[in-house]
Amino acid sequence: MSWLVYDGDCPFCANYVELLRLREQFPDIDLVDARMNRDHDAVQKILQAGYVVDEGMALIDGDNIFYGAAAIHSLARPSSSVFGRINWWIFKSQERAGFLYPILSMGRSAVLKLLGRKKMGY
């Protein structure tokens, strides 16, 4: 079982999860909206590992936690959808994912602020 923990109130995060069609590519993945499921085992596992859920999505695969850029790099797979192919091309490179993720995260924070949505606080 794998979990992807993300902020369901973030339009970027929610659309990313939707557009990737993750359940098609990863049939055993459980999508966890951290904002709605603070007490979920996956969210607690991320917090116990010292990560801040507000600052990045996380992919948990067994005992491994891939956080932020590592998560989106791990999710990059060749796909039949146009968005999936673009995502794979951009994030298949760890270096590119590492460079772009902080920029995307700053954009996320700005959009949440403009929309009047508060940070989760964890």
Q: Give domain limits for the chain.
A: 2-114
Which of the four pLDDT bands, split at 50, 70 and 90, describes residue 113? very high
Question: How far is CA 32 from each of CA 5, 14, 49, 114, rounded to the nearest angstrom?
Answer: 5, 11, 17, 24
* Model confidence pLDDT, tens digit, residues 30-45: 999 999 999 999 999 9
* Model confidence pLDDT, tens digit, residues 47-85: 999 999 999 999 999 999 999 999 999 999 888 888 989
> Which one has a higher pLDDT value, 57 or 22?
57
